[in-house]
């Protein structure tokens, strides 16, 4: 006994509205159309669905049961329409962001918070990925966009990259680190303190190698590795250890005053933080909106950084 879903919806509307004409109006149909639908439904079922001669119209128990299903169909249909509307406007849906751990923790998570204040109906699914996995995730459509530092030339075909912040690394330490008292730092000053190693696979790892080479050492005194940003900062704040970190990550922590920049020039990677997307991916307005938000947030951040640098001498 397969019933026509449209008929069920019309049944529900008619009972909710109290009459055929009203129910038809509620659905944007004419009264005869609905009248016939009901007759067909009743014929199909073979049982009366209405109590005759009642205003407002009332259902038999069976009619009421069917109307209940009709109502859920109506609401499901309406939800589907809403989902599309919201999707098109970018005010609804899911954004799946992958990002390198430190940036996600230091900056993106805050921006996600801001974004959700603007678009409370958008859900953000965050995942921690470094470049290789991110490429796979984008191709496999597991994420909508990635936030990753990338060399300008590393971009494979089929991907687009929008830069949001030039890469710039610094050596971080706690604010009362003994090296900050030195007028002029030498390479061997750095090697006499323990170091924190970045997460394996992260771009900072290769940066650290570059620094090693520039200092002319083959290895550092690695005392801590594998920690997330919060762990690293906690570790740095408690010890005299040093770490290579993106400047912006340290900058984002300035209010907490737990880590600062050691004024020592290190070689800079030819990399930029940016948003990585697959060109063929099904577009998601919510994701684009989020990407826009992140971009402007970093744009603002650049200005703040500039003002800050003019006012503050780091490491003092």
- The residue ranges that bind a copy of itself (CB under 8 A) are 1-3, 5-6, 8-9, 45-48, 51-52, 58, 60-62, 65-66, 69-70, 72-73, 76-77, 79-81, 83-85, 87-88, 93-94, 96, 141, 144, 280, 282-284
Long-range residue pairs from 205-208, CB within 8 A, at least 24 positions apart, any chain = 206/269, 207/169, 207/244, 207/269, 208/244
- CA atoms of 77 and 74, how far apart (whole Å): 5
Residue 156 interacts, among DNA, a copy of itself, none and using kind-specific CB cut-offs from 5 to 8 Å, with: none
Residue 30 interacts, among a copy of itself, DNA, none and using kind-specific CB cut-offs from 5 to 8 Å, with: DNA
Q: With respect to a copy of itself, which residue has the nearer C-beta, 18 or 151?
A: 18
Asked if residue 234 binds DNA (CB under 7 A), the reply is no
Asked if residue 6 binds DNA (CB under 7 A), the reply is yes
Options 3-11, 132-140, 168-176, 188-196: segment touching DNA (CB under 7 A): 3-11
Count of alpha carbons within 13 Å of 34, Cβ hemisphere only?
22
Residue 282 interacts, among a copy of itself, DNA, none and using kind-specific CB cut-offs from 5 to 8 Å, with: a copy of itself
Asked if residue 139 binds DNA (CB under 7 A), the reply is no
For the segment 57-116, give every residue that binds DNA (CB under 7 A): 57
Residues forming a β-bridge with 260? 173
State the minimum distance, in angstroms, from the CB of residue 264 to a copy of itself: 46
Q: With respect to a copy of itself, which residue has the nearer C-beta, 88 or 155?
A: 88
Question: Binders of DNA: how many residues, by CB under 7 A?
Answer: 22
Is beta strand 159-166 parallel, antiparallel or unpaired with respect to 195-197?
unpaired
Q: With respect to DNA, which residue has the nearer C-beta, 20 or 273?
A: 20
Q: How far is CA 31 from CA 18, 47, 54, 147, in A?
A: 13, 22, 17, 55
State the minimum distance, in angstroms, from the CB of residue 141 to a copy of itself: 5
SS (H, E, C) the chain: CCCCHHHHHHHHHHHHHCCHHHHHHHHCCCHHHHHHHHHHHHHHHCCCCEECCCCCCEECHHHHHHHHHHHHHHHHHHHHHHHHHHHHHCCCEEEEEEECHHHHHHHHHHHHHHHHHHCCCEEEEEEECCHHHHHHHHHCCCCCEEEEEEEHHHCCCCEEEEEEEECCEEEEECCCCHHHHCCCCCHHHHHCCCEEECCCCCHHHHHHHHHHHHHCCCCCCEEEECCCHHHHHHHHHHCCCEEEEEHHHHHHCCCCCCCEEECCCCCCCCEEEEEEEECCCCCCHHHHHHHHHHHHHHHHHHHHHHHHHHHCCCCC
Residue 85 interacts, among DNA, a copy of itself, none and using kind-specific CB cut-offs from 5 to 8 Å, with: a copy of itself
Residue 39 interacts, among a copy of itself, DNA, none and using kind-specific CB cut-offs from 5 to 8 Å, with: DNA
Q: With respect to DNA, which residue has the nearer C-beta, 76 or 213?
A: 76
Residue 166 interacts, among DNA, a copy of itself, none and using kind-specific CB cut-offs from 5 to 8 Å, with: none
- String marking each residue 8-47 x if it binds DNA according to CB under 7 A: -----------xxxx-----xxxxxx-xxxxxx-------
Q: With respect to a copy of itself, which residue has the nearer C-beta, 94 or 213?
A: 94
Residue 199 interacts, among a copy of itself, DNA, none and using kind-specific CB cut-offs from 5 to 8 Å, with: none
Residue 51 interacts, among DNA, a copy of itself, none and using kind-specific CB cut-offs from 5 to 8 Å, with: a copy of itself
Contact footprint for DNA (CB under 7 A): 4, 6-7, 19-22, 28-33, 35-40, 53, 55, 57
């Amino acid at each position: 006994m397969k019933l026509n879903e449209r008929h069920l919806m019309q049944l529900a509307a008619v009972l909710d509205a109290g009459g055929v004409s009203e129910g038809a109006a509620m659905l944007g149909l004419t009264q005869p159309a609905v009248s016939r639908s009901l007759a067909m439904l009743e014929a199909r079922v073979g049982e009366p669905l209405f109590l005759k001669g009642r205003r407002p119209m009332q259902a038999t128990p069976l009619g009421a049961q069917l109307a209940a299903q009709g109502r859920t169909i109506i609401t499901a249909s309406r939800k589907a329409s809403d989902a599309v509307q919201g999707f098109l406007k970018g005010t609804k849906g899911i954004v799946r962001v992958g990002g390198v751990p430190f940036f996600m923790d230091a900056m993106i998570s805050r921006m996600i918070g801001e974004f959700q204040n603007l678009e409370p109906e958008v859900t953000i699914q965050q995942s921690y990925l470094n470049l290789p996995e991110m490429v796979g995730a984008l191709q496999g459509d597991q994420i909508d966009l990635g936030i990753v530092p990338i060399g300008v030339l590393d971009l494979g075909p089929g991907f687009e990259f929008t830069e949001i912040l030039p890469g710039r690394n610094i050596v971080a330490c706690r604010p009362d680190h003994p090296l900050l008292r030195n007028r002029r730092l030498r390479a061997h000053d750095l090697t006499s303190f323990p170091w924190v190693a970045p997460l394996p696979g992260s771009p900072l790892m290769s940066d650290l190698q570059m620094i090693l080479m520039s200092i002319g050492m083959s290895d550092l005194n690695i005392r801590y590795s594998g920690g997330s940003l919060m762990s690293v900062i906690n570790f740095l704040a408690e010890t005299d250890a040093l770490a290579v970190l993106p400047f912006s990550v340290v900058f984002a922590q300035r209010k907490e005053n737990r880590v600062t920049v050691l004024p020592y020039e290190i070689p800079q990677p030819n990399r930029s933080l940016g948003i990585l997307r697959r060109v063929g991916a099904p577009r998601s307005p919510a994701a684009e909106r989020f990407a826009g938000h992140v971009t402007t947030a970093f744009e603002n951040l650049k200005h703040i950084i500039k003002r800050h640098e003019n006012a503050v001498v780091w490491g003092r």
